[in-house]
Amino acid sequence: MERRGKPWLVPTLLLLLISLSSLAYFQYPQATTTSSFDPTSHPKSPFKAPKQNIFSELTAAEASSVNTFILEKFGHLNLTKHPKSAKDNFVYIVETLKPNKTDAIHYLHPQGTDADADAEAAPQPPERWAKAAISENFPDGPYMVYYMVGPLPVGEETVIRPLEYCFEEGRNWVKNPGRFLARVQDFGAILDFALSMAEDVADITQELLGATVNRANPNDPQSLLAFPRGSRVETGGMVLWMQFYRPGMGSGARTLLPQGIYCKVDATSSNTSDWTVGQFYYNGVLYDDAEEFRAALQEPDFQRTPPNLDGSWTNTEDFGEYADRELPPPVSIQPYGPRYKLDKKEKYVSWFGFEFYITSAMATGISLYDIRFKGQRVMYELGLQEALAHYAGDDPMQGGLEFLDSFFGMGKNAFELVPGYDCPAYADYLDTEWHQSYKTHTMPNSVCVFEFTADYLLSRHTAQYSVTASRNTFLTVRSVSTVGNYDYTIEYMFYMDGTMEVKVRASGFIFAAFYTANNTKSEDEYGHRIHDALSSSMHDHVLNFKADLDVAGPTNDMVRLALEPMTMKYGWDQPEQPVRNTMHLKEYQVSEETGLDWPKNSGEFYLVYNSEDKNAWGERKGYRITSGTGMGSTPHLTILNSTTLGDSARWAEHDLWVLQRKDTEPRSADPLNYFTPHDPLINFASMANHESLEHGAPDTNYDGDLVVYFNLGAHHIPHSGDIPNTLMHTSSSSVMFVPHNFADADPSRQSVQGVRLQLKGHKSGGFAGEWSAPSSPSSPNNGDLRTRSSARDDNKTKAWYFGHTYRKGVEVPLEMLEPDLGGYVSSEHDITDLNFNGSAAGMWHREEAFGG
């Protein structure tokens, strides 16, 4: 085929014309390529938050005064400080009742008030109130009841009243518990029943498992334990399926060591003496009672499965010496100190345009409030609401297993972080506190704040005559919550362009299933065989977060900006191309409360726009919500209409939700939902009830203040690589909030550190396509990085830095490279047992059950 013309000529000529149209003459600055600024010679002044942290948790003094006030005012309840059973009345928790947004905004963002010019005119902080949960015993059993106490500090005006306004239908109580065992007089009776049941079948457990229970020492690693999974029946009764486990109570690996004997217990009565032991289940076979089970053992064709024995395979550490461990890994250091500013007292952070407050809660851990970027409002509230794990399986334990972890306490179980490992050695660490059973518990160093430089650039570009590289540094606020068998690392990340990312990583021991040797029909249906007598158990992790966006103010709209294919006829395309297959953008208003899933092929942008404020180019200021970095798109719950969860976690049914923001709907879930999943205190389905998101019309009360709830997590199908622990890089997920026309141009250019290298060459100068031009005295040094240097005669590569560089070497103390962990503050942690101790039955003093 004959080749006609030069196809590369047209685009080349086009680029040349564009270059000529923007031709300008520049001169490079004559300064040296390194700054004379020495950060170490400039001491930092103390940093203070601009306002009081009105979201902070109660102080120890405040919590003590609230407890005393309740004891005095509720004398008729005969509240005890040392409850020994659910029949005792006691104050379970006290914590901050977060102020309503309508009150908080008046303080944080006063309209028409110059607080600096006239301090007396500045609005005062909203009233401070406490929330209390009290266990009260009524004739039909114990209840958990919420109250509000305030205003604080406690004084003549302080009152206590039912906390009703933020719960569905004004209800402030749940029966304690609808599906667990709080009606039993004491926790010890439950353990005693389990031990008695196990002793009655000791011959069977010895025969099949090679072990029995040890009543004298539940921590005996060679003995067995029995734990229940409770479930209600329609008649109002209670059924327990008890499963045997090894080793002892103190082992972290217990969820890897289920044993394949299950026992069904009728626990309808409030007295354990009336409980009855029924069926047994082993290796896929159901036996009517222990006698039938014993008889089957004697049959020659009885099929056994190996016992699930502990060993080195459950160890999370290998202390052996190996050649590839001779050198320690690289670490990050911070020679000149932090670039962010932190007011530890108010827990207020400022970093390159971002500003926000940090607070914590016993149930949900840390949350951020009043997030601003470059002085503009971005988000009022960002924080965890609930963490769900839902399992599936064909045995009596895994088949109905689920957890709502806020009940166990994502904040309560946020333990001390390990410097140099959980966070860089140079990070700042914050303590958190929570108040339970009349005591204040301090968790030292449970939140870290640090800046980090990524292993990839924020941006770069190689042109014909130059290379520009911009370092990618970001700020992180991190905590780790260890609930039972899993450690959840939760972090809030901030980038220099205004992007925010919420990320969850998980590690720990999986909650595994016993492997049934005669399993044929359901082989690999719920997981994989991962050890001699162990099978993985598929499950969903869904963690729900609240993002109360205030993009450049509270009046916002949400749209779906779709990328859609189309066929179009263009006049300029005729006659060569009659029609052209192409694509375009089409915007769909989200006009009512709804749940959304991440679109196929990422074919839609979910955007929250300010309804009124626009950037310099007339575009609405907005933020995009998108599934971020991690293992694929963030998930929602696989199970449809879960029979176990009921109505307690309807937020898990879609990836994200958009709702009207209301003071009466401050959260998507409540920890006490765990008690009554079919009649929860907060039913998210009642919140997301398709109310209109259109505002501005005369007949609507909605003002455009919307809130987004989004889910992180994973569809976890554990495999052999999850033994002994799941790895964090294989179980991470995130959602990002990315500026979309929020600024007039990329704001990171004002903050980022980087370099422009002028490459060797006769024409080395500006951007590719620009003409070289001689320097001229009339061309002043305007500081523009694109300006030209007259000193090009040496034809060498030149480096032009934006931002400061390190000027000299530093001596790094060993603690900056490898902290001395001998000073670790925390002592022994209480175990969060996801069956007994973490249930309603374990609310009162657990030491009574274990003999101290």
Torsions phi, psi for 549 (to 5 deg) = -75, 135
**What is the mean pLDDT of the segment spanning 811-827?**
85
Task: Give the number of domains in the chain.
Answer: 3
410 sits in the region (left: phi over 0; alpha: psi -120 to 50; else beta) called: alpha
Largest CA distance in the chain: 105
Last residue of a domain, one of 175, 207, 235: 175
Residue 846 in this model has a pLDDT that exceeds 90? no
Query: Cis bond leading into 575, ω under 30°?
Result: yes
Contact 595, 653 (CB under 8 A): yes
**Residue 623 CB: number of other CB atoms within 10 A?**
29
pLDDT (0 to 100) of residue 828: 74
Residues of the domain holding 71: 60-175
Per-residue pLDDT band for 780 (boundaries 50, 70, 90) equals very low
Residue 700 in this model has a pLDDT that exceeds 60? yes
Least confident piece of the model among 153-157, 544-548, 677-681: 677-681
pLDDT (0 to 100) of residue 827: 74
**What is the mean pLDDT of the segment spanning 811-826?**
85
Q: Are residues 612 and 722 in the same domain?
A: yes
Q: Are residues 674 and 606 in the same domain?
A: yes
pLDDT (0 to 100) of residue 552: 96
pLDDT (0 to 100) of residue 781: 40
Nearest alpha carbon to residue 463 among 8, 19, 790: 19
| Average predicted confidence (pLDDT) for the chain | 85
pLDDT (0 to 100) of residue 787: 45
Least confident piece of the model among 178-182, 364-368, 490-494, 637-641: 178-182
- Decide: pTM greater than 0.85: yes
**What is the mean pLDDT of the segment spanning 357-384?**
97
Is 635 inside any structural domain?
A: yes
Q: Which amino acid type is present at position 106? A: H
Q: Which residues of 378-403 are buried (b: 16+ CB within 10 A; e: fewer)?
A: bbbbbbbbbbbbbbbbebbbbbbbbb
Query: 88, 220, 370, 405: which is the annotated catalytic residue?
Result: 405
pLDDT (0 to 100) of residue 36: 53
Per-residue pLDDT band for 186 (boundaries 50, 70, 90) equals low
| Helix 187-200 × helix 202-209 angle, to 10° | 70
- Distance, in Å, from the CA atom of 314 to the CA atom of 11, rounded to the nearest integer, reads 63
- Distance, in Å, from the CA atom of 647 to the CA atom of 651, rounded to the nearest integer, reads 9
pLDDT (0 to 100) of residue 765: 53
Residue 831 in this model has a pLDDT that exceeds 80? no
DSSP state of 640: S
CA geometry: angle 755, 760, 761, nearest 5 deg = 135
| Residue 394 token pair | 């064909």
Q: For residue 127, what is the domain's CATH number?
A: 3.10.450.40
Is 429 inside any structural domain?
A: no
pLDDT (0 to 100) of residue 778: 46
Q: Are residues 137 and 206 in the same domain?
A: no
Least confident piece of the model among 41-45, 563-567, 619-623: 41-45
Q: Are residues 194 and 108 in the same domain?
A: no
Is 25 inside any structural domain?
A: no
**Residue 476 CB: number of other CB atoms within 10 A?**
18
Nearest alpha carbon to residue 258 among 846, 835, 761: 835
Q: What is the pLDDT of residues 300-317, one digit of tens each?
A: 999 998 899 999 999 989
Q: Are residues 570 and 704 in the same domain?
A: yes
Q: Are residues 162 and 279 in the same domain?
A: no
Last residue of a domain, one of 715, 733, 748: 748
Higher pLDDT, 325 or 262: 262
Q: Are residues 152 and 211 in the same domain?
A: no
Whether residue 679 lies in the annotated active site: no
Q: Are residues 84 and 222 in the same domain?
A: no
Contact 270, 184 (CB under 8 A): yes
- Distance, in Å, from the CA atom of 711 to the CA atom of 696, rounded to the nearest integer, reads 30
**What is the mean pLDDT of the segment spanning 661-665?**
96
Is 576 inside any structural domain?
A: yes
Least confident piece of the model among 143-147, 772-776, 794-798: 772-776
Contact 516, 283 (CB under 8 A): yes
Contact 331, 273 (CB under 8 A): no
In which residue are the tokens 């303080």 written? 107
Q: DSSP string spanning 240-272?
A: EEEEEE-S-TT-TTGGG-EEEEEEEEE--SSSG
Q: Secondary structure of 672-689 in the HEC alphabet?
A: HHHCCCCCCCCCHHHHCC
Q: What is the pLDDT of residues 477-487, one digit of tens each?
A: 999 999 989 99
- Distance, in Å, from the CA atom of 637 to the CA atom of 712, rounded to the nearest integer, reads 11
pLDDT (0 to 100) of residue 232: 59
Q: For residue 532, what is the domain's CATH number?
A: 2.70.98.20
692 sits in the region (left: phi over 0; alpha: psi -120 to 50; else beta) called: beta
Per-residue pLDDT band for 830 (boundaries 50, 70, 90) equals low
**What is the mean pLDDT of the segment spanning 743-764?**
86
- Distance, in Å, from the CA atom of 534 to the CA atom of 762, rounded to the nearest integer, reads 69
Is 685 inside any structural domain?
A: yes
Last residue of a domain, one of 748, 780, 808: 748
- Distance, in Å, from the CA atom of 546 to the CA atom of 282, rounded to the nearest integer, reads 43
Q: Are residues 197 and 159 in the same domain?
A: no
pLDDT (0 to 100) of residue 834: 54
Is 461 inside any structural domain?
A: no
Residue 379 in this model has a pLDDT that exceeds 90? yes
Contact 603, 586 (CB under 8 A): no
Is 143 inside any structural domain?
A: yes
pLDDT (0 to 100) of residue 28: 31
The sign of the torsion formed by the CA atoms of 253, 255, 261, 267 equals positive
Whether residue 486 lies in the annotated active site: yes
Residue 603 in this model has a pLDDT that exceeds 60? yes
Q: Which residues on neighbouring strands pair with residue 358, listed in sequence order?
A: 368
Q: Are residues 154 and 232 in the same domain?
A: no
Is 670 inside any structural domain?
A: yes
Percent pLDDT > 90 in the chain is 65
pLDDT (0 to 100) of residue 429: 97
Residue 369 in this model has a pLDDT that exceeds 70? yes
Per-residue pLDDT band for 793 (boundaries 50, 70, 90) equals very low
Q: Which amino acid type is present at position 474? A: F
Residue 789 in this model has a pLDDT that exceeds 80? no
pLDDT (0 to 100) of residue 324: 86
pLDDT (0 to 100) of residue 365: 97
The sign of the torsion formed by the CA atoms of 22, 23, 28, 34 equals positive
Q: Are residues 167 and 201 in the same domain?
A: no
Q: What is the pLDDT of residues 422-471, one digit of tens each?
A: 999 999 999 999 999 899 999 999 999 999 999 999 999 998 888 999 99
Q: Are residues 149 and 196 in the same domain?
A: no
- Distance, in Å, from the CA atom of 58 to the CA atom of 440, rounded to the nearest integer, reads 10
Percent pLDDT > 70 in the chain is 83
Half-sphere exposure of 687 (CA within 13 A, CB side): 31
Query: 281, 465, 486, 515: which is the annotated catalytic residue?
Result: 486
- Distance, in Å, from the CA atom of 755 to the CA atom of 801, rounded to the nearest integer, reads 4
